[in-house]
Amino acid sequence: MKIELNGRRALVSGSSQGIGLAIATELARAGAAVVVNGRGQEKTSAAADQVRKEVPDADVTAIAADLASAEGAGALQDQVGELDILVNNLGIFGAKPVLEIDDDEWRRYFEVNVLSAVRLIRMYLPGMMERGFGRVMNIASDSAVVTPLEMVHYGMTKTALLAVTRGYAKAAAGTGVTVNSVMAGPTHTPGVEDFVHDLVGDDLPWDEAQRQFMKEHRPYSLIQRLIEPPEIGNLVVYLSSDLASATTGGAVRVDGGYVDSILP
């Protein structure tokens, strides 16, 4: 199956590293013009250079903006113009006992992980609907349906994204625009490496730390390893294409079989 996204323009929020950078790279590899985004210009520009390194003929633009604020989202919109593909990947996570999460922390997680996506959808969905084509994807997580005890506030935001996705998919019904959640499973990123070592100890070599983490904290994974970011990017590329025109309003899993259910 060869997917070509030539002539499409995509934005991946929070794409200066990790899953977002991998998604941006795979979209560029499929021919899309890609906007990478991060809070700092230096890191965002470095991410764009990394995409060009992987895809030498890539059409990639780096725009630094803090999308956790309305002002940052507006500043990005002024520079980007219209989009065909919107990937809401921006998110934060971290382990904290649920009884120690205060009001400000709950608000911060909701602002970054949920409202950043809502703002961008409000900005770009109407234009997509008018033109009769668009792809919106919210990067959710297995934590949306399997709430992790060590980060309930994070799981809450990913559950909210599933509802946001379904609601906006209904709003776009019959227009040629699809809106989906991508439920990523435990994924190998620098941030997750730090998270894993926080849980199992800093003194273990990475391979052993990963095995122990999966055994103790993610035991239901059917692949029994962390997912590599390009594996998530591949699903996003498919959902961005004309081939996925009948897939909308869904929570599409790329979780390594972690969620123990035949439905999300």
Catalytic annotation, residues: 154
DSSP H or E stretch at residue 62? strand 60-64
Centre a 10 Å sphere on the Cβ of residue 71 and count the other Cβ atoms it contains: 11
d(C-alpha 10, C-alpha 18), whole Å: 17
Token pair listed for 195: 């998270």
Closest CA to 181 of 212, 160, 198, 152: 160
Handedness of CA 102, 161, 212, 20 (dihedral sign): negative
- Burial (CB count <10 Å: 0-12, 13-18, 19+), residue 199: middle
3-state secondary structure of 237: helix
User: What are the structure tokens assigned to 72, written together?
Assistant: 């940052």
